[in-house]
Amino acid sequence: MLLVLAWIRRVRSSASGVNVSIPIGCVASKIGHAVADRRIFPPTVVVEIKALACELPSRCGLPLARWSLAELRREAVAQGLVAQISGTTLWRWLSQDALRPWRHRCWIFPRDPAFAVKAGRILDLYQRRWENKPLGLRDYVLCADEKTSIQARRRKHPSLPPASGRPIYVEHEYARTGAWAYIAAWDVHRAKLFGRCERKTGIVPFDRLVAQVMRQEPYRSARRVFWIVDNGSSHRGQRAAARLRAKWRNVVLVHTPVHASWLNQIEVYFSIVQRKVLTPNDFTSLATLQHQLMQFQQRYQQSAKPFEWTFTRNDLDALLEKLKQKSYRLAA
């Protein structure tokens, strides 16, 4: 009788009004585990082990880059937090707070002292505003950058097309036949692409891209053409702004904060190129690679639409506040 009752399904109403069935046995099992944990391990032990999981192993003097469940269990015993503990119990405790110390994520913390100001200007331009005023009909916004060192890798065996039950086969070994720098610009609001392949990056190749764009209408006779760029050597600082302004009086160079290329919309297009053209990298020659890049640019342009950029000043403020709080916690 008890066995039958343990699996009777209770029905409750969810927030959406849908009936949700919960096996009583599952609830009883979870409650049983919690009661057993409290009986065997006092709450202070649970807290101490979770605190250990939130430490970098190197700060505990261990030659580890990150915790595994086994290493965390071993260290808890070594520190005398517990005499012994099962991996299942440890996993359950960590899961309660969604702790996964064996995972890591690369991150660049903002280090530009003017990060908020510089990022805010760019986000305003995406919303067609500059210095708290709306842009005019003869104002244009472009994002530009270089995708450097795109190798042309000639595989030592021809790639095989996909077939039933298998993907494309690409030979692992290859010969390098050279590399291009793909320099491109993206009109944010008109969804227009401009690009060229150069042997290397630098001031002269970048200026050729600017000339390629600025000699065309409507940019040639525009009131202002805002160029959003990062802090690469080809277009860094006020010297680059003055250089381009001397050649094109309506050019306004706008720099992203340091290490914030993700604010530049041309990087979205470069990620598309990487996925659709360059992966896997299999080109018989530099000329073939250049042809593919230019052909894809033309193909993409035929159906291009402005990117749905949803990151706003409000999101920026929330992000910076979150990082500020995280920095305080790390300092503490």
pLDDT tens, residue by residue, 191-232: 999 999 999 999 999 999 999 999 999 999 999 999 999 999
What angle in degrees, to the nearest 10, is found between the helix axes of 115-126 and 313-331? 160
Residue 151 burial class via C-beta count within 10 angstroms: exposed 0-12, middle 13-18, buried 19 and up: middle
pLDDT of 33 > 60? The answer is no
Q: pLDDT band at 325, cuts 50/70/90? A: confident
Cα dihedral: 56, 61, 62, 64 (round 10): 40
Q: For the chain, which domains are there?
A: 10-96 (no CATH), 115-317 (3.30.420.10)
pLDDT attached to residue 331: 59
Strand partners, 134: 129
pLDDT of 187 > 80? The answer is yes
What angle in degrees, to the nearest 10, is found between the helix axes of 286-303 and 266-276? 120
pLDDT attached to residue 192: 98
pLDDT of 19 > 70? The answer is no
pLDDT attached to residue 264: 97
Q: pLDDT band at 84, cuts 50/70/90? A: very high
Note if the pTM is more than 0.95.
no
Measured CA to CA in angstroms, residue 168 lies from 163, 171, 272, 317 at distances of 8, 10, 20, 45
Average pLDDT over residues 170-174: 94
